[in-house]
Structure 1
């Protein structure tokens, strides 16, 4: 069947998308929710959805090559406004795809709220035509940052699902790939009339990579989240279940029994990850204990640390931060140590 017979269908599809552009955003959000729900079940559908997500970015990076091929095969001229429209659709699909992952895995009482909030604002901008077309697109430096942020978030969510990379590996690959590919795709789409502007774009791209690495603790691990946590003086080793959680403990009880920090962490099937329980007292690290987890368990991988050595004066507020090798925080457990009750004086 000649390719020209598909031309009317392609034109109808383009017309449908132009009439209802927010369908792409809705599709992206639904596919993101579906992928997130399927992650802990190890379903291959989640991997397939993530791969399809990345295919759209292959189109964006090789847009000029594909545009010439479409014009040659289908006889359809792809005007620049239409190409910008397709780029906007990919941004919509991508941002709404990753939002469910980050909304669930974000520790909202930390700097991670800023990153996820930025993603939500970027998603809203992608479906608001006046903001996207009149504010973002004309400003090359801002559009480059927007483009890089979107691709970075997509890779953070997709790479652990597709390749079972650890969080640390995913972060390095996502950051490096986002910086390189976003610059390559936009450099071909944007005409740089002066050489110094081209150098400025290179410098901006490298600066964004540096900022992304320095602020990695503010970026949630998109495919790791806590399903159960507890700070408890007792733990059933046979059943691997914690005792009753506590928010406060006296210093005498602390020295007599110690404390367990119990966490159940959900991770994609096949993912082997090293995490750390970082015990903090008055903002200072007093202990850092490594734990290896395996993904795929429905209730999450259960791991705990038992701390018995405490400072001479442990009274105050404590934290146990659960972090990845890359320094991304999965969650935080908090408790307070109170002074021991003094025995009554004899009369």
Structure 2
């Protein structure tokens, strides 16, 4: 294997000489993957599968390295494994970030999740921070690794399996916790019996925390392309009338109100969403919408509300949420006395 060894040494020399090339490559390839997914639904599956295969290799890199040494007498240098791990992190983060940037409700707790992904992407492309600050801190590195894997699964699974957002969230969370188990096992360095009990407890805690955090996690493959609050709706053309941000109590009771949403997805749509009507922060109605199919401009759906409180004045909002409790967006309007 002299040729392969010389090739690896040359690659190492190029990386050391031009360290800025790989972060740029990770950034460009991630964004290119997003735009290809958005435009080519079939090609989306290929990109998503390659992303998950790279993560599977990452989890089995030790077994792979042992097999190479046993059967071919070749051991991959540690720097190459570190480089491959960093590349998987970079490409995964820059692939998923545009999805989450589109789907995040920036005036909600989802800002925290997407902000953490952005911070992770920044850490992944700055070598001194990634190798000298993040990697030596095993607990922090495990959290970084698990969050990146969870975001990648949350984006890739609906594209590959055509699941609803609720199903993909459950599967992504379960897989992320399961695949982080070997890293957790190595981090704990179990030498006492009580640490064996702590290991499943920590895994269950991660699972529970991830489940409770659903409203803070944007649905990566669904986003609102158009919204409107209107007193009129053209059902034939499926278009709303003039958008209303403020109206009187008399107008509201006389005409009612429509909440209109157009929902886009690169994989098509087949699930249930809800329009949750809130008056001064209190839920007054929850209306289900079954959406099927999909189009470039988004699947158009609306709810019409005519029953209002005796005094409807104040601040109103309509939360658009998935069946699994993830928020797609918010429509706001105000009613004057």
Give the TM-score of the pair, scaled to structure 2.
0.91
Structure 1 partner of 2:249: 251
- 2:145 corresponds in structure 1 to 147
3-state SS of the aligned residue for 2:284?
A: strand
Instruction: Tell me the secondary structure at the aligned position of residue 220 of structure 2.
Output: coil
2:294 paired residue among 289, 296, 321: 296
Instruction: Give the whole-Å Cα distance in 2 for the aligned partners of 1:36 and 1:177.
Output: 22
Partners of 1:41 and 1:296 within 8 A in 2: no
Unaligned runs of 5+ in 1: 340-347
| Matched residue, 1:267 | 265
CA distance in 1 between partners of 2:11 and 2:71 (Å): 17
Pairs within 5 Å for 1:213-292: 213-292=211-290
User: Is this contact kept in 2: 1:160–1:268, CA < 8 A?
Assistant: no
CA distance, structure 2, for counterparts of residue 13 and residue 198 of structure 1: 41
Name whichever of 12-21 and 43-52 sits farther off.
12-21
Aligned Cα root-mean-square deviation (Å): 2.3
Aligned partner of 2:63 among 58, 62, 65:
65
SS in 1 for 2:335: strand
1:20-99 pair list within 5 angstroms: 20-72=18-70, 75-99=73-97
Summarize the Cα distance change of 1:49–1:326 in structure 2 as closer, same or farther, 3 Å threshold.
Answer: same
Tell me the distance in 2 between the aligned counterparts of 1:20 and 1:117. Answer: 29
**8 Å Cα contact 2:29/2:91 also seen in 1:** no
Structure 2 residue 306 is matched with structure 1 residue 308: yes
Q: Contact 1:232–1:244 (CA<8 Å) still a contact in 2?
A: yes
Q: Deviations over 1:140-177 (max 9, x none)?
A: 22221111101000001101111111100111011110
Aligned counterpart, 2:179: 181
Shift of 1:4: 6.4
* Counterpart mapping for 1:8-19 below 5 A: 8-17=6-15, 19=17
More deviation, 203-212/27-36: 27-36
1:51-107 deviations in whole A, cap 9, x for unaligned? 111111011111111112333455432244443332222212211221111111111
Structure 2 gap ranges (5+): none
Conserved in 2, the CA contact under 8 Å of 1:274 and 1:325? yes
For residue 47 of structure 1, give the secondary structure of its aligned residue in structure 2: helix
Compared CA separation, residues 280 and 191, structure 1 to 2 (3 A): closer
Task: Give, in angstroms, the shift of residue 198 of structure 1.
Answer: 5.8
Deviations 1:230-281 (A, max 9, x none): 0000000000000010100111110111000000000133431211111011
Equivalent residues of 2:34, 2:95 under 8 A apart: no
Matched positions, count: 336
Structure-1 separation of matches of 2:141 and 2:195: 14
Which residue number corresponds to residue 192 of structure 1? Answer: 189
Q: TM-score, normalised by structure 1?
A: 0.89
